[in-house]
Structure formats: C-alpha cells, structure tokens
Amino acid sequence: MGREATARRRRPEIGLTMEGKLTAGALEGVKVLDLTHHIAGPYCTKLLADFGAEVTKVERPEGDPARRMPPFYHDEPETEKSLLFLYLNTSKRSITLNLKSRLGQEIVKELVRDSDVVVENFSPRVMPSLGLDYAALREVNPGLVMASISNFGQTGPYRDYKATEIVEYALGGLMYIFGAYDREPLKHAFSQAQFKAGTNTASAVLMALYHQRLTGQGQHVDVSIQESIASALRDVTNNYTYFGGVRRRQPNHSGDLTRLRAASDGYILPNPGVSSRVDWGAMVELLDAPELDDEKFSSASARLANAEELGDILDRVFESRRKQEMFYAAHQHRFIFGVIDSPAEVLANPQFEAREYFVDLEHPEMGSVKFPGAPFLMSGTPWEARRAVPTLGQDNREVLHDRLGYSEEDIVQLRAMEVI
C-alpha cells in the first residue's frame, strides 16, 4: 500500500520554497474519482494526479482493458506489465467495482459525496443506464464537476456511434491535409486523438474547478474526441469559411527544399525558409555545393522550373553528410533543420538530458522503467509521479475501510458477491 514512486524532475530552483523545502502539488487537496479506461480518460486523470490531485481509479474487477494493451515489459503480456497502462496511471489509487451491481453503484455514490471531480469516458448511454449520470450524481454532491469524454459528445446524431482512432482523425477533418497530395490521406502514429482529448479534458476540469471554488457550483463538462481533433484545424476551417479556400495535401517534388532527405546515417528534415538571393547564397554555403550557385536555382520560380535537377543535387549532397553535423551547421546559419531521431537517440538527446525530461518510474514487478516526465515545468508546485502505478485493486481496503468505513467483514462479503 502507498508505495512511493521515485520519479521527479529536479532542478535546484524547481519545487523549492525560499527555505529549501519541497512544496505541495498544485492540485493538493483536490479529490478526483476516475471512472475511465483505455487512454483519453486515464491521460486526463494522470495529468491531474501527477500535479497533486488525489485520484481514485475505479476499475472493473477484471481490470481496465488498457492493462492488456501492448507494448508489454519484455513482451510478456500480463495484467501488470502493460507499459501503456504504467505510463497512464501513475500517482493514482486503484479499487475494483462492478458498476453493474447495485452495491457497486452505491459505493460510487458514497465516493462522489466527498469528491470534487468525476471523470468518465463511457459511451453516452452507459452512465444513465447505471443511474450514475450527472443528474443523479449532482443530487449526491451539488458542487460536483463531472467530465464526460466520448467519441462524438453527449448530443448530436453521432453520439452513440462507435469509433476508433483513425475514424476520429477522418471525421475530425485532420486526415484530409496529411500525406502527399497525389496519394491517400495519412494519420499520425499511435493514439494522438486520445491524448489530445485527455489534455483538453484536464484543462476543462481545471476551469470548472476554478468556477466551483468561486461560486460553489458544479457543472458537467462534455468533451468530444472528434471536436478535439477539429480544434487543431484552425486555419484550414478559417480559410474555407472566409473565402472558400481548400487546403489540400501538399506536392512533394524532388526539388522541394523542405522535403525529407536521406543523410549518410539517417534522415534530416530541412525547412530553410529561403526567400531571397541572400538566403540562397547562405544555403549554398551551408551545403558546400558550388554547383547550386547558379541562376537556375537562385529564385523560387527558377528552382521550381529546374526541380528535378535541383533534387538530384540535393540528394547527393545530403547523402554525403551526417545528420547531426548538418543539424548544428544549419542552426549556425539560422536555418531551421530537424533530424529524425531513433528511440535511442531521443533518450540521449542533449536537450532532453539538460532539462531532465525522461524519468525512471518504479514498479514492483518491472523495476525501474524510463518514461516521459512533466508535460510542463512549474517553479513553485512541480510535477511528480507520487505513487507507482497501482496493481489491480491494490487500494480496495484503504478506500473502502479507511475512507468509507466498511468493516473487514463487509469487504470480504463484497468480494464474495463479486462487487469488488
């Protein structure tokens, strides 16, 4: 019970008072009841927990499905070894409850009574069917902030439709602008829509909490993953709204100066922003390619007219150079270049190292595992993974007995009745 995690981003000035004592988390004293699963909801509550909120995660007796999602530690597909689950659930307590049972529903309401926030990401029909929707929980706690994350929101013709990550990208409008213009659209890797929705929900919860503290009034926060994706479009929708312009996927001809290029040891992404003859001269100097010092390439229109020849030269030049060497040289010339880092190179990146971004999280079965740390730095109330990720139902006794007052016999009965 209450195992401490060791992950903390430390700097001499961060998280210290003038007397040198560690400060409490920014959300110290905020109680969050976490009814979430998979990714979007757990990421929201992770953000709250790592900044000091007391988060009690309620899992079905068989556990959050994310416990069975890869990748697994040492490729061993076991309930306590999902690396995704480990990342998403630091600093939380875990209890198990069968929400379909009457007793399970009553225990949720008991927990709601002294909670500030409830977060759930079931489909919109589920919480009302359990008698645990906002209207019901507000009767128990009038000041409650309740956040609901769903594929398309709590209202509208799509509200009960199922969706996957790629469907959210497609219907959110973001896939339309990614990829080559002469090919099918693409989406980013992994579950970016889920993480974006989780971030939006955490922000909304904090705003609702601020209002709650000022007025004593709770409210229901409705987060649509589709809208979380659409919110990233901005100029795309504005262009269409204001003058009917449609942003399409961009051409990627061989002479495009921003095209991904192969270096001798990997890939580099140039984005030099060449807009004048002076800029082009600096580019020629950077690449040490005198054959580019030619009228055929000195202007944007000339480079487009001679794109194939330019592309051949650029490919030869880049393939003869090392990516890190070009990266640093480009920034000396004030050009914007990026390198495509492998996982090992990301972990060894000197910028990450200087800011102590990656941290080691302790787990009773996996030992020390390295993960991303604070999403941002706060000088007075720092991020901290305060507890290792809980094993399934680890805190049943602490929450049921210590917080709610159930006896040992009650807990045994709840387990026998498959309520926990």
Band of residue 6 on the pLDDT scale cut at 50, 70, 90: very low
CA distance 245 to 251: 17
Band of residue 155 on the pLDDT scale cut at 50, 70, 90: very high
Contacts of 54 (CB under 8 A, 6+ apart): 29, 30, 31, 32, 93
Instruction: Report pLDDT digits (tens) over 259-312.
Output: 899 999 999 999 888 888 889 999 999 999 999 999 999 899 999 999 999 999
The mean pLDDT of 137-143, rounded to a whole number, is: 97
* 261: nearest Cα among 326, 335, 199, 331: 326
Contacts of 65 (CB under 8 A, 6+ apart): 37, 38
The mean pLDDT of 78-89, rounded to a whole number, is: 92
Angle of CA points 121, 126, 132, to nearest 5°: 90
**In this predicted structure, what is the pLDDT of residue 408?**
95
Instruction: Report pLDDT digits (tens) over 23-78.
Output: 579 999 999 999 999 999 999 999 999 999 999 999 999 999 999 999 999 899 98
DSSP state string for 83-131 = HHHHHHTTTEEEEE--TTSHHHHHHHHHHHHT-SEEEE-S-TTHHHHHT
Tell me, rounded to whole angstroms, the distance of Cα 71 from its chain centroid.
Answer: 17
Structure tokens at 380: 């007075």
Strand arrangement, sheet containing 92-96:
92-96, 54-59, 31-35, 117-120, 145-150, 219-224
The mean pLDDT of 209-236, rounded to a whole number, is: 93
The mean pLDDT of 176-200, rounded to a whole number, is: 90
Band of residue 361 on the pLDDT scale cut at 50, 70, 90: confident
**In this predicted structure, what is the pLDDT of residue 23?**
59
**In this predicted structure, what is the pLDDT of residue 14?**
33
Tell me, rounded to whole angstroms, the distance of Cα 239 from its chain centroid.
Answer: 28
Structure tokens at 294: 């030619």
Measured in degrees and rounded to the nearest 5, phi and psi for residue 326 equal -70, -35
The answer to whether the Cα torsion of 332, 333, 337, 339 is positive or negative is negative
Tell me, rounded to whole angstroms, the distance of Cα 337 from its chain centroid.
Answer: 25
Angle of CA points 173, 179, 180, to nearest 5°: 130
Domains of the chain (ranges plus CATH)?
A: 31-234+352-416 (3.40.50.10540), 261-339 (3.30.1540.10)
CA distance 29 to 52: 8
Quick count: other Cβ atoms within 10 Å of Cβ 288? 11
Tell which wins on pLDDT, 11 or 240.
Answer: 240
In sequence order, the β-bridge partners of residue 221 are 147
**In this predicted structure, what is the pLDDT of residue 127?**
98
If you ran DSSP here, which 8-state letter would residue 5 be given?
P
DSSP state string for 357-405 = -EEEEEETTTEEEEEE--SS--SSS--B--BPPPPTTTTHHIIIIIIT-
pTM: 0.89
Band of residue 239 on the pLDDT scale cut at 50, 70, 90: confident
Average pLDDT over all residues of the chain: 90
pLDDT at 22 > cutoff 60 = no
**C-alpha dist (Å) from residue 398 to 53, 91, 164:** 17, 15, 36
